[in-house]
Amino acid sequence: MKLLSVPVLLLRRQVAKDAELLVLRHENAVLRRQLAGPVRYEPADRLWFAALPSLIPRRRWARVFPVTAGTVLAWHRRLVARRWDYSKRWSRPGRPPTTKAIKELVLRLCGCR
């Protein structure tokens, strides 16, 4: 049984190395793109940095990734907050209008009709 775990371990190490190279290459591309000013990660950059940590052992994250796990979580929180802000439901401020059937029922119960 242990004989079968050796190729899996070697394959996992190779995948982690490939993922690490992808992260470093992408970071270099971002830095080359922004030589003049502060580093600003675009949504595509953030996607790379959010997707690749699962392929790299956690103990090597600090040496490989230019951002911390907290930064990735903050990006995710902002993304979710923008996506689920329910702004499309707020057509106008204030209380929604009462339907005609409810108005008629209230008038009938109070004896006004």
Q: Determine, yes or no, domain membership for 80.
A: yes
pLDDT at 113: 65
Residue 90: pLDDT band (50, 70, 90) is low
Mean pLDDT, all residues of the chain: 77
Residue range 5-48, pLDDT digits in tens: 445 444 567 778 778 878 888 887 777 777 767 777 888 888 87
3-state secondary structure the chain: CHHHHHHHHHHHHHHHHHHHHHHHHHHHHHHHHCCCCCCCCCHHHHHHHHHHHHHCCHHHHHHHCCCCHHHHHHHHHHHHHHHCCCCCCCCCCCCCCCCHHHHHHHHHHHCCC
Q: Determine, yes or no, domain membership for 44.
A: yes
Percentage of residues in the chain with pLDDT exceeding 70? 81
Q: Determine, yes or no, domain membership for 111.
A: no
Q: Determine, yes or no, domain membership for 94.
A: no
3 pLDDT above the threshold of 60: no
Q: Determine, yes or no, domain membership for 100.
A: no
Which residue segment(s) compose the domain that 54 sits in? 2-87
